[in-house]
Amino acid sequence: MVCRAVLGSEFREEPRSVDVAVGTDVLLGCRAPRGEPEPRVRWQKDGGDPVRPDDRVTVSETGTLRIHDARQGDSGSYVCVAYNIGGEKESAPARLTVRGNSYVHLRINYTYYLRQGSNVFARFCLFVCLSVCLYVC
């Protein structure tokens, strides 16, 4: 009996770099090279940290990485790793950039002058944004 283990050299689909806004759902596609037995896929971030699936992050059976409700902390360089008993192969890295802040604080050059008798009071206003902006004075 002869066991044969092979892992092809070319990914059928490699991940592509993307820029997204905070809160967006992200798909990084990956289809492993052909192989025997059929290769599986795992993902690494920023030079080797394994991507661990959770309630926001999943990997499909075909290898696509899905990140629900992207956050700035999800930004980084992602690599798809195909593996079987014949070895492993890394895709080219793909850069995920998540733009926008969870909180944006803007000081407005906007002053209210309140006059009480002979006294004048200045009041500054502030915008605070997290999906919805609030106006605070």
> pLDDT tens for residues 29-73?
999 999 999 999 999 999 888 999 999 999 999 999 999 999 999
**Co-location of 12 and 54 in the same domain:** yes
Residue 45: partners with Cβ closer than 8 Å, 6 or more residues away: 51, 76, 77, 78, 79
Q: Is 72 helix (H, G, I), strand (E, B) or coil?
A: helix
Half-sphere exposure of 41 (CA within 13 A, CB side): 26
51, 96, 60, 57 alpha-carbon torsion, rounded to 10°: 50
Number of domains in the chain: 2
Q: Is 1 part of any domain? A: no
- Confidence (pTM): 0.71
- Domain range for 117 is 104-136
